[in-house]
Amino acid sequence: MQRVKRNLVLLISSLLLLLIWQVGSMMLDSQILLPGIPPVAQALRTLIAQPPFAHNILSTALRAFQSFLIIVISATVVGVLAGRFEYLSIALRPFVTTLKAIPVMSIILLAFIWFSSGTVPLFSAFLMGFPVMYVQIEMGVRQLDRNLEQMCTLYEFRPSDKLLHFIIPSMTSWFIAGSRTALSMVWKVVIAAEVLTVPRYGVGARMQLAQVQLQTDLVLSWTLIAIMLTALGDLLFDALVHLAAYLKRKIDARGVPCSS
């Protein structure tokens, strides 16, 4: 019942958003400033029907996925080390603070000077997403329960058991929070970098071309696609998290013998 209510509220607020858009479009009465829902829906249908559509989507998705993977692996390794070794954490602090404070556009523009247009989204997304994930992982290591650690020592847990049954489960919530935030950020930065660097294929590049030709309905269509890609990424991530939790429970249950 609670779930139905929640979904109903979500549906009503989404409809309200569409209503505001349509009313705004009718009040402005300009297809360039803000086209209404029907022309954007029409433009979206045309876009999807065209052959390069999938190529554009896949190129952007691949860049986002690559950046995300690099962020997750590197930030986890560096974060764990920084959490364990205080001097490394102190040494990394100026880099992380700079990366957190630097405007995303500065990174993209600088990267565009240094690299080819295909590499810029990857590089920019990495630099923006890395500190977010790194901070979470480092915090997770620092917040490990010292009492449980002491218990593991006293009860002589094997290092592999300590890692599997204490450290990894304790770090999971930090890992999930960090990667979820990094994932949302990666989509935004990859598309922004594509807008500025205009690679051959990519959602951002198409958006930029539509904007130059004052095709606002197309810009909005690509924006909707970008929103859907981000939402799909989040859904996929949540599904993976649930699957992992489900599998862990299954494995745990298999490890419990019958008491009789």
Partner 1 sequence: MQFLEISKRYEQNVVFDHFSLDIPVQSILSVVGPSGEGKTTLLQMAAGLLEPDGGSIRKETSEEGSVSYLFQESRLLGSSTVYANVELALRRSHSSETERRQIALHYLAMVGLSGSLALYPSQLSGGMRQRVAIARAFAHPANLMLLDEPFQSLDIKLKFSLVDAFLKLWEEQPRTTLFVTHDPKEALMLGDAVCCLGDPKKPLWYQQIDIPRNARNITDAKMLAWEATLVRTLVNA
Q: List interacting residues with partner 1 (CB under 8 A).
A: 147-148, 150-151, 154-158, 161, 165-166, 169, 172, 248, 252-253, 255-257, 259
Q: Which is nearer to partner 1, 4 or 256 (CB)?
A: 256
How far is 93 from 95, CA to CA, in rounded Å? 5
Angle at 68 between CA 63 and CA 72, to 5 degrees: 155
How far is 191 from 165, CA to CA, in rounded Å? 39
Q: Which is nearer to partner 1, 1 or 256 (CB)?
A: 256
Q: Which two tokens stand for residue 40?
A: 């954007």
CB of 7 to partner 1, least distance (A): 27
Q: In this structure, which amino acid lies at residue 225?
A: I
CB of 180 to partner 1, least distance (A): 19
CB of 141 to partner 1, least distance (A): 17
Q: Which is nearer to partner 1, 166 or 237 (CB)?
A: 166
Residue 158 neighbours by CB under 8 Å, 6+ apart: none
Rg (CA), the chain: 23
CB of 239 to partner 1, least distance (A): 20
Q: Which is nearer to partner 1, 58 or 161 (CB)?
A: 161
